[in-house]
Amino acid sequence: MLRKLILLPCLLLAPLWAQSSAPHTVSDFLHHPQKGEPYEFWSYQFTFDNGTEAWLTFSRLQVPAIGQKVAAELSFHSFRGKNRSVGKQFPTDQWTEDRKNATISIRTDYFMKGLPGNGHHVRFATGKNEGYFLDLQFNSELATFIPKAQQSKEMPLSLAVQIPRSQVSGRIAIGKDTLHVQGQGTLIQSWHPRRLTDFAQQTITLSCPYGDGYTGSLVQGKNGTLAGHVIRIHRGNTSLLYPQRMVKNGSVIRIEWQAPQEPALVIDLSTTQQKYSVLSTVDSWMERQAAKVALGGDQMLLRGQNRTATGVQKWVVAGF
């Protein structure tokens, strides 16, 4: 059950991140070393012209009694009418970084290659279960901001919208059923020195595959503090926005921005298209129990979208 959002102004009247754009650097994209028990996520979302959607996440996370692990997870929605997910975990020595070529690899079957933007290449390939495959290249990119992250004690979250929207093309497969696809993709990178559930009550991840909308991630802390940011896409131009307040009334969430001239974003949870547990990609009972501790409990994700006269706004809501 999603916890009720309380009407609260953003306690951080000055943004956590400087509102200035900067070119991508290798250091922006590669793993960010942190003290404590660090977590980091590279989260892709793809919307293809044939109606299929895909979510791909590479991560570094803490597993109880084991320590740091790396993982790769892939989910398909409406792959020939099927919704399927798969996940893999690896020891950290399987994670390699090539600064010269801006490449992160897990073994040879999983990689993120090249700086985010035009030419960025991502791959996931496993024979687990039926076998799952994704190999896509980014072919264009909207102008974006790379805010320099500055964590606060209350909300120790860093975030970068690495790719707010880009054309993608390549192949996806389940088993021997392979599809050649084209569509749109995004990449959001986040990192924090302890479990998100230790300080966050709810997160909302946004992406805009077509037309006007938002790409980014917003987090509401357990004390009501808001953090995160989005890239606003409007008529092919981009701008950086921070949340001012969030209000939940029944199944409707209303997000207002620190820029008062920007229209509020409304998310209607009654239009949820998919509901699933983040543990759905974990196979064994023992791994599932360890993952629950690592993530601070099971997490239910709600996925849906808003269609307007000027665009398509997709959202993923996680309530802790």
Q: What is the pLDDT of residues 95-110, one digit of tens each?
A: 999 999 999 999 999 9
Judge whether 149 lies within some domain. Answer: yes
Residue 39 lies in a domain: yes
CA triple 230-147-114, angle to 5 deg: 95
Q: Which helix (H) or strand (E) holds 285?
A: helix 285-295
With CA atoms as reference, report the closest residue to 257 among 206, 305, 307: 206
Q: What is the pLDDT of residue 179?
A: 97
The answer to whether residue 18 is domain-embedded is no
In this predicted structure, what is the pLDDT of residue 296?
A: 52
pLDDT at site 211: 92
| pLDDT value, residue 38 | 87
What's the average pLDDT block by block, 10 residues per block, for the chain (320 residues)?
34 34 76 86 96 95 80 93 90 95 95 94 95 95 61 78 94 97 95 84 92 93 88 89 91 93 91 70 48 55 86 85
- 163 CB-near residues (< 8 Å, 6+ apart): 116, 117, 120, 138, 141, 144, 185, 186, 187
Phi, psi angle pair for 110, to nearest 5°: -135, 125
Query: How many Å is the Cα radius of gyration of the chain?
Result: 18
- CATH classification at residue 60: 2.40.370.10
Range of the domain at 117: 31-319
Cα distance between residue 88 and residue 107, in whole Å: 12
pLDDT of residue 91: 92
Longest dimension (CA), the chain: 52
- Confirm whether 48 is domain-assigned: yes
- Specify the number of domains making up the chain: 1
* Residue-level pLDDT at 143: 62
pLDDT digits (tens, 9 = 90+) for 218-235: 999 888 889 899 999 998
The residue type found at 2 is: L
Grouping H, G, I as helix, E, B as strand and the rest as coil, residue 7 is: coil
Using the structure block, give the residue that is written with the tokens 């790396």. 70
Q: Is residue 3 part of a domain?
A: no
Look at residue 19 and tell me if it is in a domain. Answer: no
**How many other CB atoms are there within 10 angstroms of residue 250's CB atom?**
9
3-state SS string for 202-262:
EEEEEEEEEECEEEEEEEEECCCCEEEEEEEEECCEEEEECEEEEEEECCEEEEEECCCCC
Q: What gap in Å lies between CA 59 and CA 39, rounded to an integer?
A: 7
Tokens standing for residue 138: 């980014």
The pLDDT of residue 75 is: 92
- Domain contains 42: yes
- Report yes or no on 115 lying in a domain: yes
For residue 81, the SS3 value is coil
Q: How many angstroms separate the CA atoms of 59 and 41, rounded?
A: 4
